Amino acid sequence: MRIADHIAEYMREHDIHCLMWGDGSLVNAAREHISGRSGSHPLNVMTAACNAMERAPDLFRKTRIHGCDANGNARVVRGFWLREFDKTVDD
């Protein structure tokens, strides 16, 4: 089973339709499946989880949110919708 499958299962169990980098739920969904690969730091887990979801276009639709970090620098954050809850027509 892929890491993305575990994340999707967690999202369904908790009725979560979308996760993005920075969500604590993303760490909860992925930590036990990723910690041996990317270290246990939550930022590493979030990045590895987003990478895994990006490699699973059958489960997730990727979105991007433009914003800024705490210092005011521009930042693009990746978000992922479970396809079964995605209401968009275009991909």
In 3-state terms the chain splits into helix, strand, coil percentages (rounded to 5) of: 45, 25, 30
Cβ count near 75 (within 10 Å) = 14
Note whether 76 and 64 are within 8 A (CB). Answer: yes
Note whether 23 and 11 are within 8 A (CB). Answer: no
pTM, two decimals, is 0.82
Q: What is the C-alpha to C-alpha distance for residues 81 and 17, in angstroms, rounded to an integer?
A: 6
pLDDT by residue (tens digit) across 59-79?
999 999 998 888 999 999 999
pLDDT by residue (tens digit) across 39-55?
578 888 888 999 999 99
Q: What is the C-alpha to C-alpha distance for residues 16 and 29, in angstroms, rounded to an integer?
A: 11
